[in-house]
Amino acid sequence: MPQAKSPECRRRALDLVRQGEPVARVASGLGISESCLRRWMKQDDINAGRKEGLTTEERRELVELRPKNRVLEMELEIVKRASAYSARENVLP
């Protein structure tokens, strides 16, 4: 797997493309694929508000919150089952 590029490197590449350099030339100069550079461009447009979609920060937040949400849902299910079990025990004959 290729080494991740620094944010500064990404910014320079995006600036070059926005100034008119061909995507293929910039990508080959960095040793990445054109599709990778195009993904960077799309994400930059989203982050800047030029396109709709999830920003980098929103994606990071989702990655953090999904596992926490799963744990909370499991805990809630356990509490529901314990409550139902407890309610059955407390019923008068």
CA R_g for the chain: 24
What is the span of the domain harbouring residue 72? 57-93
Whether 42 and 74 map to the same domain: the answer is no
Whether 31 and 69 map to the same domain: the answer is no
Residue 92 has pLDDT above 70, yes or no: no
**What is the Cα 80 distance to its own chain's centre?**
32
**Which residue type, as a one-letter code, is found at position 32?**
I
8-state DSSP, 50: S
Domain count of the fold of the chain: 2
Tell me the CATH number at 43: 1.10.10.10
Structure tokens belonging to residue 79: 């509490």
Whether 21 and 61 map to the same domain: the answer is no
Q: What is the pLDDT of residue 1?
A: 60
- How would you label 37-67 residue by residue, b for 16+ Cβ within 10 Å and e otherwise? beebbebbebeeeeeeeeeeeeeeeeeeeee
pLDDT in tens, 17-70: 999 999 999 999 999 999 999 999 999 999 999 999 999 999 999 999 999 999
**Which residue type, as a one-letter code, is found at position 80?**
K
CB 44 within 8 A of CB 54: no
Q: What is the pLDDT of residue 79?
A: 96
